[in-house]
Structure 1
């Protein structure tokens, strides 16, 4: 059976910390996202535990009466529990070398393994259409698994929100950007 996994990056938020809420614009984007997803036959929703991800999918989940499952493997990649002085350069370097990690942080390889585990579990299940709500770094690392040309520039080009569909069959895995910002 072919599986469609809708990878959703959260809407605009007030910050990067786990409890950062959506901005007013982000709340409007969440409503637009719900309308966008309305005609897709999503049967299951799995979200990052971060508040901005849960708030992003809430209008759609409520309208469709779908329970949102929380999976900590979808949380944003931990760069460093302390501030990285030049974090943008660090991000750029970390897409070139997936082994780079700062003290207390997580490498791209480790984060990729987390999100790949979620995808593996979805593919092994019986649901045909699943929505996964996560973050920009995690979205980019996931897509990079299927296209090594994806990296820092694609991460920077993501919008809030953003939607990709990952289609998995016995023969292949392909992806397509659906959200037109």
Structure 2
């Protein structure tokens, strides 16, 4: 069982809400991402339902003639339903305490579990090479699952877009950052 999962953070968007579209620059990035992926074998594409995630992968999906599967578990993590002026400090605290939860939000552990569940299903599928499009917060929690050093500081260094390759074998799982843009 060898699986390659291309973990993609969406391109530049005009906001944080689920219906925020890509910016003009984001659409240009999506086309560049399509070219970047064009020489890679891909069997399956799974995306967050957020507009910016779908728009990020749509050029590649159309070029490769692969249907985009929507999975709600790839939605961005909800830190809280309340506004916090110190949200960065609150977010950092959730990397230090994976069970910390704010009003109306989910803990890092809960968010991590839902994206890990998607990866587990990919591992059990027939697809050898899968593209998974999501968001910085949830992606950083997935990478933290495999590498405890991937925390708040590494989250801050993610780019829009960003691409990581997660290689899963029978006995191991390793990731590599592919995007240099």
With the length of structure 1 as denominator, give the TM-score of the two structures. Answer: 0.99
SS of aligned partner of 2:170? coil
**Equivalent residue number for residue 128 of structure 2:** 128
**Equivalent residue number for residue 80 of structure 2:** 80
CA distance in 2, matches of 1:82, 1:61: 36
**Equivalent residue number for residue 107 of structure 2:** 107
CA distance in 1, matches of 2:101, 2:51: 25
**Equivalent residue number for residue 63 of structure 2:** 63
With the length of structure 2 as denominator, give the TM-score of the two structures. Answer: 0.99
How far residue 83 of structure 1 moved from its aligned partner, in angstroms, is 1.4
How far residue 33 of structure 1 moved from its aligned partner, in angstroms, is 0.2
Moved over 3 A (4+): none
CA distance in 2, matches of 1:35, 1:84: 39
SS of aligned partner of 1:149? coil
RMSD: 0.6
CA distance in 1, matches of 2:82, 2:129: 38
How far residue 40 of structure 1 moved from its aligned partner, in angstroms, is 0.6
**Equivalent residue number for residue 95 of structure 1:** 95
**Equivalent residue number for residue 141 of structure 1:** 141
How far residue 85 of structure 1 moved from its aligned partner, in angstroms, is 2.4
SS of aligned partner of 1:159? coil
**Cα deviations across residues 46-90 of structure 1 (Å, max 9, x unaligned)?**
000000000000000011110000000000001112212211111
**Equivalent residue number for residue 164 of structure 1:** 164
**Equivalent residue number for residue 49 of structure 1:** 49
Query: For structure 2, which runs of at least 5 residues remain unmatched after alignment?
Result: none
**Equivalent residue number for residue 155 of structure 1:** 155
**Equivalent residue number for residue 177 of structure 1:** 177
Aligned residues: 181
**Cα deviations across residues 98-147 of structure 1 (Å, max 9, x unaligned)?**
11111110100000000000000000011100000000001100000111
